[in-house]
A and B are shown apart, each in its own frame.
Chain A
């Protein structure tokens, strides 16, 4: 058994877990955060993507014990209260989801992708960077559209601030 202490969606969490407990199972079963999904067992589908210390990670491929001391953000934690995160809003606006099962992982990967590309994104880049997330419903068409729209919206929103700082 391992004692772990970490921050999950802004809340300090302490727990004792079996050594073999995966991060995704810790989140789903111990924390009740069932928005993070398990769609495969080979780290391919990306339904389990969460942010670990600000980076998109597949939570099926990490032990809970590995992330002791880390800060985790899941799909439940990215909205600002009742205000959707721009990526969440864009997925709704552009019909970037159907059954919703891959959606949390898609959104968590997309927010990380947008953050890593402050210069902006184009379709080819989005498609290549989505390699680690599988969707069976949408054919990716509207997911790509949503991510491009969110990227634009977020860069517009951040520009005035950048000017002020300069």
Chain B
């Protein structure tokens, strides 16, 4: 470990531009002749479009064009798709309803786009959008997933009878039923996982530019995975062939999953840039983001957990209804299935598991991956049930968990996953110690004397990251492979460029990836540049989500570095007239081990490019590429403890302390890892206490601004106590597990376990807003 290598707390290389206002986000981009777009959106949750009259709008000042879905269809632009095929348990494929980027016959949620207005200024486009006259025939709407399955519910798509997209199962139903029947005790719960809006601080944006001279398109977009965007827009949406489409995701202001998907707006802006003959920029305003960004969660489940007389779990049966909204977003089908039910074993040895999942259309925004994606839902269900079981069984929540922990690895769960390594007891011990769990009773009694209700709750989470082995996900229905690519270019002066298919939108790749290279070759970190986010620069990539950039993205870089190192050593051995096997790389030089003979790194690089004196038959240059495909998922795990205090007079809840003890395997930069955990916890605490997307019965989103949707603010949160205990991941060359989502996965059940402990009640539906907590406290 050097000062700048793996494990060092290096401050971020990318920070300078962000702290000086020199970041470059999509909204900062200006192209000559660029015009501004505003989308006309449905004010109704469900309606037939009878007529769209654009004449008046077209005549407004500054208006360049007003385009509708009919023209889009006539030009052959395809429907948006879900790229992960799930089959129902009867073998039938999922029922994907048509999703036109611009609706032309029917709208299915408030915010569904029906036309694009392009004008000289955004103000003029907005004025003209208001002059587009759309005649609707309103239809009845349904927003609740369980109600959408009932007989007589409004029907969204002709393809999906009863709004059912698929009825899927995993695990052994018979064995699980038998375990429940034979159980000494069964804990039963109904669990709701509240609907959330991801709310990256940078609203989504797209800038489409058609170059008629080259017959070529460029799209600047707020994307976590620009290559996937190019692939999907080319292969499925018929925007342009890949070699005629460049996608650039410059600085992106947060994603949390919501910027994985390809939305109607980038497709329409690209198409419109040719149709209208001008570059077209669209930037969402915040209410538009609330209405149209893919939402997260929204699960309704029942669970039965069976125990034997020794309090060992013998079976787990889960039935879940998941709301997917009005259309199937790009990866929506994978979230409540393979990213959810495969994690239902948690950290526990459970011999029999069965989960049934039905996904449903409703007249709400599409629902897809949001930080954690399925794994928070699994963890919340499991950890709330464990807490309830401990109370019912009259045993300590910590000991019930501990006695059911998996302790032997590898461990094959009954739901596909094979856990490779972990030490769940170590995380539990670390968290309990950091929280002074043993001293809680005293603190609770002291609080009680002051009229406050104090509670403590824990959560032991596991997640599957490092997404994912391509062949495995392919066999489960994924439409893409989930490898990652890297290219390492050593320049003639010895500086290094790393081109990666991962995309950084806050994760600090420009620093951590450079640390890897600097440490490997002993070169200064400032001589290493990380290039990402541009399909014209980086050949191919699968992007950043599922905590995959370390475990998969950096592994690809390691593979390319291996090749660079091998060639560099050959060159050095030749220059030093030594044996290749005797060459070592230390402090920026290639040395003959045990001697003072060496060639500096930059001289070796120069030799590779002058090619005056290379080993016979060797090609000039020093540039290597790799595609790394993981062999397994990785399994970060940990224990979170929340201690909170309720004021029963006001319903205000204060988090007294929040402890996170995580096992992320090896760590490249502890400062960045801690930052990821902090942010994840804030989102998890937000879900538990503050956030919720609420539609009224007619399908109007009641929480469509920061005045209505409660974002966690600085004074809602404490400082966090975070620590790590690391069991290296055996599945990748760096031993990394991933840390991006843990906070959001592990924290909601810890908060609600603490809250129900404080209030002395069995259950509480998130979010724990003061009015709801106050109402519950009155029954105390």
Q: Which residues of A contact B (CB under 8 A)?
A: 18, 20, 28, 33-42, 44-45, 47, 74-76, 79, 84, 88, 91-93, 95, 97-104, 107, 123, 126-128, 130-131, 133-145
Bound together, the chains give a CA A74 to CA B17 distance in angstroms of 14
Bound together, the chains give a CA A107 to CA B680 distance in angstroms of 22
B199 contacts A by Cβ under 8 Å: yes
Contact A131 B254 (CB under 8 A): no
Contact B706 A127 (CB under 8 A): no
For B289, give the chain A residue with the smallest CB separation: A40
For B505, give the chain A residue with the smallest CB separation: A99
Bound together, the chains give a CA A18 to CA B126 distance in angstroms of 15
Task: Give the residue of A40, A95, A136, A141 whose beta carbon is less than 8 angstroms from that of B286.
Answer: A40
B203 contacts A by Cβ under 8 Å: yes
Interchain Cβ contacts under 8 Å between A and B, 12 examples: A40-B285, A41-B285, A42-B705, A45-B706, A75-B20, A98-B675, A99-B201, A100-B253, A101-B201, A139-B680, A140-B713, A143-B714
- Which residue of A39, A75, A137, A138 has the most chain B CB atoms within 10 A of its CB atom? A137
Task: Give the residue of B21, B283, B672, B675 whose beta carbon is less than 8 angstroms from that of A76.
Answer: B21
Tell whether A140 pairs with B714 under 8 Å between CB atoms, given A47-B201, A95-B671: yes
Contact B678 A100 (CB under 8 A): no
User: Residues of A contacting B11 with CB < 8 Å?
Assistant: 92-93, 95
User: Residues of A contacting B674 with CB < 8 Å?
Assistant: 95
B779 contacts A by Cβ under 8 Å: no
Tell whether A137 pairs with B286 under 8 Å between CB atoms, given A42-B707, A97-B15: no
Contact B675 A35 (CB under 8 A): no
Bound together, the chains give a CA A79 to CA B283 distance in angstroms of 29
Give the contact-size bracket for chain B. Answer: 35 or more
Q: A41-B286, A139-B680, A142-B675 are in contact. List 5 more A-B contacts (CB 8 A).
A: A34-B28, A92-B16, A92-B19, A139-B717, A141-B720
Task: Give the residue of A35, A44, A138 whose beta carbon is less than 8 angstroms from that of B23.
Answer: A35
Task: Give the residue of A39, A44, A92 whose beta carbon is less than 8 angstroms from that of B707.
Answer: A44
Contact B675 A39 (CB under 8 A): no
Q: Shortest distance in angstroms between B89's beta carbon and chain A's nearest beta carbon?
A: 38
B588 contacts A by Cβ under 8 Å: no
Bound together, the chains give a CA A138 to CA B507 distance in angstroms of 11
Contact B705 A37 (CB under 8 A): no
Tell whether A101 pairs with B202 under 8 Å between CB atoms, given A91-B19, A143-B714: yes
Contact A144 B714 (CB under 8 A): yes
Contact A97 B671 (CB under 8 A): no
Contact B18 A103 (CB under 8 A): yes
Contact A20 B123 (CB under 8 A): yes
Bound together, the chains give a CA A38 to CA B123 distance in angstroms of 15
Bound together, the chains give a CA A70 to CA B678 distance in angstroms of 39
Contact B706 A36 (CB under 8 A): no
For A134, give the chain B residue with the smallest CB separation: B711
User: Residues of A contacting B508 with CB < 8 Å?
Assistant: 98
Bound together, the chains give a CA A99 to CA B505 distance in angstroms of 5
Contact A45 B705 (CB under 8 A): no
Bound together, the chains give a CA A100 to CA B511 distance in angstroms of 14
Contact B21 A104 (CB under 8 A): yes
Contact A39 B201 (CB under 8 A): yes
Contact B287 A139 (CB under 8 A): no
Contact A136 B714 (CB under 8 A): no
Tell whether A136 pairs with B679 under 8 Å between CB atoms, given A76-B21, A95-B12: yes
User: Residues of B contacting A144 with CB < 8 Å?
Assistant: 714, 719
Task: Give the residue of A39, A84, A103, A139 whose beta carbon is less than 8 angstroms from that of B678.
Answer: A139
B694 contacts A by Cβ under 8 Å: no
User: Residues of A contacting B28 with CB < 8 Å?
Assistant: 28, 34
Tell whether A97 pairs with B287 under 8 Å between CB atoms, given A34-B28, A39-B203: no
For B9, give the chain A residue with the smallest CB separation: A95
User: Residues of B contacting A98 with CB < 8 Å?
Assistant: 254, 506-508, 675, 679
Tell whether A139 pairs with B18 under 8 Å between CB atoms, given A41-B286, A144-B719: no
Task: Report B13-50 CB contacts with A as 1/0, cut-off 8 Å.
Answer: 01111111111110110000000000000000000000
B682 contacts A by Cβ under 8 Å: yes
B256 contacts A by Cβ under 8 Å: yes
B329 contacts A by Cβ under 8 Å: no
User: Residues of A contacting B717 with CB < 8 Å?
Assistant: 127, 139-141
- Which residue of A91, A95, A133 has the most chain B CB atoms within 10 A of its CB atom? A95
Contact A131 B713 (CB under 8 A): yes
Task: Give the residue of B202, B287, B671, B714 whose beta carbon is less than 8 angstroms from that of A39.
Answer: B202
Contact B287 A92 (CB under 8 A): no
Bound together, the chains give a CA A139 to CA B655 distance in angstroms of 14
For B371, give the chain A residue with the smallest CB separation: A136
Bound together, the chains give a CA A88 to CA B283 distance in angstroms of 28
Q: Shortest distance in angstroms between B464's beta carbon and chain A's nearest beta carbon?
A: 23
For A98, give the chain B residue with the smallest CB separation: B506
Task: Give the residue of B25, B252, B678 whose beta carbon is less than 8 angstroms from that of A37.
Answer: B25
- Which residue of A33, A107, A139 has the most chain B CB atoms within 10 A of its CB atom? A139
User: Residues of A contacting B22 with CB < 8 Å?
Assistant: 35, 76
User: Residues of A contacting B52 with CB < 8 Å?
Assistant: none
Contact A135 B23 (CB under 8 A): no
Tell whether A100 pairs with B506 under 8 Å between CB atoms, given A95-B11, A136-B254: yes
